[in-house]
Amino acid sequence: MSVRNALLALLEQGPRYGYQLRAEFEDRTGGTWPLNVGQVYTTLARLERDGFVEGRGADDDGHLVYAVTERGRAEVSAWFSSPVPRTQPPREELAIKLALAVSVPGVDVGAVIQQQRSATMAGLQDYTRLKRRATGNEPHELAWGLVLDSLVFNAEAEIRWLDHCEARLRRAAADPDVRSSSVEPNLSPVESKLSSGGTTSSQDVTR
Amino acid sequence: MTAVLELDSVTRVHGTAATEVTALRDVTFRAYAGELVAVMGPSGSGKSTLLTLAGGLDSPTSGLVRVEGTDLGALGQKGRAAMRRTSIGYVFQDFNLIPALTAVENVALPRELDGAGVRAARKAALSALEEVGIGDLAKRFPDEMSGGQQQRVAIARAIVGDRRLILADEPTGALDSETGEDILRLIRARCDAGAAGVLVTHEARHAAWADRVVFLRDGVVVDESGSDRPDALLEPAR
């Protein structure tokens, strides 16, 4: 849905062909959501079928050029004036993994959390490195900067949630009722789940 | 690569017997010239202890702390104070500026205490203020400046005299998100220019400005995340 709307929005600037649309999309979003040109042309064909764009024939170099129709403009405007729906939460592998890690016996949840925290932090460091270079204020540079910020905030939220999970598990481990492990037959003692607290065997942090 | 800061098997125990608390346990840590290292962990994990030991504000129960090759433990109080004026710059969450002194006077102070002439100290202070982008505010008093500007003064004070180790304890804690980012940019720039930086923070977004992130739990280093690969895969082609 978002590719379709993004292409329509790009066509608001004037008629374009597929390669141009792909280049302009990636100019704003980097390689975050790669588009192949086949996907662009399939989407354009569907948009044409539904009356949101019209083909303008081939240009001098033989590229098939498309323009947005009135109906297409209305569609773009409706897209911008309504929120992205928050319906069913998307299936979130990490949340599912942790939910199972705390409730299946023999899993070291502390290690699961720390391993994820390190991986997400490495990603966050990469995004931040890109962000340090992305300081321009031209519209397409701003667009890319905002996409990066979105990646940064999402990674940050994940790490905060992991910190929160760890703190909750620690509190649960200190709870005498849970220690005696009579709450649920299925729930292994939380205490044992935080034993290691980390993944590295060595405490040496030199290079 | 030269390690500007070295902690070797450092343990710090507070209190005795029944009230004994181990703040750091057998921690080995390096910060090299040209890199920024973030230390993350929940409160009570030992991250501030690590920083005060690195800054010579406290001494380890066992283990060694070296700054630019000098063993801080062998120095004594006076020697450590001299080290703090010449080699180590400290940036605090609440800025810690002296309210009765102007920006340039605050920044010049460590140089003057170190025996530099008033003029030379002032000149160095002005150039440090220029470096952090507030040369025009040199004559303002702290209460005449915003939080972000005060933190810039504090950073100028931490880098004046070309100190090669910057220790920052939650330096963005009192600032809004954009201003905090400006401060991180400044610390980052100083490290890119050859200083070693240690940034203590509980905010992942700020830690991500570092080359390496060290995770502390209960006084122990549990993990480290550092990617040396410049990942430009996502960047738009220009």
Question: Which CATH architecture is the domain A2-80 placed in?
Answer: Orthogonal Bundle (1.10)
| Contact call for A125 and B217, based on CB within 8 A | no
Which chain A residues contact residue B8 at CB under 8 A? none
| Contact call for A125 and B208, based on CB within 8 A | yes
| Integer Cα distance of B190 and B188 in angstroms | 5
**B231 → closest Cβ in A118, A126, A207:** A126
| Secondary structure, 3-state, chain B | CCEEEEEEEEEEEECCHHHCEEEEEEEEEEEECCCEEEEECCCCCCHHHHHHHHCCCCCCCEEEEEECCEEHHHCHHHHHHHHHHHCEEEECCCCCCCCCCCHHHHHHHHHHHCCCCHHHHHHHHHHHHHHCCCHHHCCCCHHHCCHHHHHHHHHHHHHCCCCCEEEEECCCCCCCHHHHHHHHHHHHHHHHCCCEEEEEECCHHHHCCCCEEEEEECCEEEEEEECCCCCCCCCCCC
* Tens of pLDDT, residue by residue, chain B (238 residues): 679 999 999 999 998 888 899 999 999 999 999 999 999 998 889 999 999 999 999 999 999 999 999 999 899 888 988 888 889 999 988 889 999 999 999 999 989 988 889 999 999 999 999 988 899 999 999 999 999 999 999 999 998 987 899 999 999 887 888 888 888 999 999 999 999 999 999 889 999 999 999 999 999 998 888 745 444 456 666 5
Tell me if the domain spanning B1-87+199-226 has CATH number 2.40.128.120.
no
pTM as predicted: 0.80
Handedness of CA B39, B44, B48, B53 (dihedral sign): negative
| Contact call for A114 and B223, based on CB within 8 A | yes
The whole-angstrom distance between B144's CA and the closest CA on chain A is: 29
| Contact call for A26 and B224, based on CB within 8 A | no
Residues in chain B: 238
Per the structure block, which two tokens stand in for B157? 């004070």
A50-107 tens-digit pLDDT: 999 999 999 898 899 999 999 999 999 999 988 887 766 667 889 889 989 988 888 8
Which chain A residues contact residue B209 at CB under 8 A? 128, 132
User: How do B212-217 and B36-40 pair as beta strands?
Assistant: parallel
CA atoms within 13 A on the CB side of A104: 10
| Contact call for A29 and B236, based on CB within 8 A | yes
Q: Where are the domains of chain B?
A: 1-87+199-226
Q: What is the value of ipTM here, to two decimals?
A: 0.81
CA distances from B133 to B29, B138, B183, B196 (A): 32, 11, 11, 21
SS3 assignment, position A32:
coil
Residue partners of A145: CB distance under 8 A and separation at least 6: A131, A134, A135, A136
